[in-house]
Structures are given as structure tokens and as C-alpha cells.
Amino acid sequence: MNNGNLGNPIGRPQRCILFVDRGASLSIGKNVGISSTAIVAHHQITIGNNVKLGGGVCIYDTDFHSLDPKSRQNASEDSAQKINKPVSIGNNVFIGAHSTILKGVSIGDNSIIGACSVVTKNIPENEIWAGNPAKFIKKQSADA
């Protein structure tokens, strides 16, 4: 991993993919549990402290390719036109297995993402969201 900051040892014996592009950053806080996760940073991904990522979670801060079909036919145009936006995951967040967090998303402290969810927009702190696309389920107590 290049340009990364690991606060402490992470994960379980399952293989994880952590990719950090040149000029991008990935910051992982303390006491973070990661299992069979793919994290791809083309811009910036920040993961807070005490975060748990279920098996098969994917976190991307990029579209990987241009949305314009003509640009995708040329590798340099395709790369130049992809959209990258930072991802921020707060403290004490739990993201259920096989969920996907997409570019530009911020997840607030103490929030929970249900298994197999696709998160496409910001989630405030102390909330539970689930589904594809993820939708608000309920507010939870900050003390929970």
C-alpha cells in the first residue's frame, strides 16, 4: 500500500484488496475490522476508528471509467474523464456484508449499513440504512 496510513493491524485471515493510486490517500483508523474487503482509492478514502466492515464490502471513490461511451473507446480519454470524489466513514460505523459504498459518500458516526446495501448518498450520524439503493430505516440512540 502506498500513501496509506494504518493506525494498527487490521483484518482477519481472509484476503483483502487495498489499492491506492498515485496521489491518492487511504487513511484507516484504530480498531478497524476488515474481512474480504476491497477498498479502491483514486482520490481519498478515510475510515474512522472502531469501524467494522463485513465480508465482501467494497468501497470506491471513483467511477473507474468515463460515463461517455465514446471516451471509453480510448484509454487515455477514458481515464481522464472518470469521476473521483472522496469517501468518508465516521467512527463506530458498521457496514454489513457485501455492501458497496460509492464515490462522494460520507457516513456519519455510529451509523449502520445493512447487508448487501448500495450506498449512493450521504448518511447522517446515528442512523440505520439498508437496500439497493440504501434507504433510511430508522434513527438510533447515540448511546446504543
Task: Please name the residue that has the C-alpha cell 447515540.
Answer: 142
Question: Looking at residue 39, what DSSP letter applies?
Answer: E
Kindly name the residue from 42, 43, 65, 98 that is annotated as catalytic. Answer: 65
**Spatial distance between the Cα atoms of 113 and 75, rounded to a whole number of angstroms:** 35
Is 65 tagged catalytic? yes
Q: In sequence order, what are the beta bridge partners of 127? A: 139
User: What are the helix (H) ranges across 7-74?
Assistant: none
Is residue 41 within 8 A of residue 26, CB to CB? The reply is: yes
Chain Cα centroid distance, residue 109: 14
Cell for 138? 430508522
Residues with catalytic roles: 65
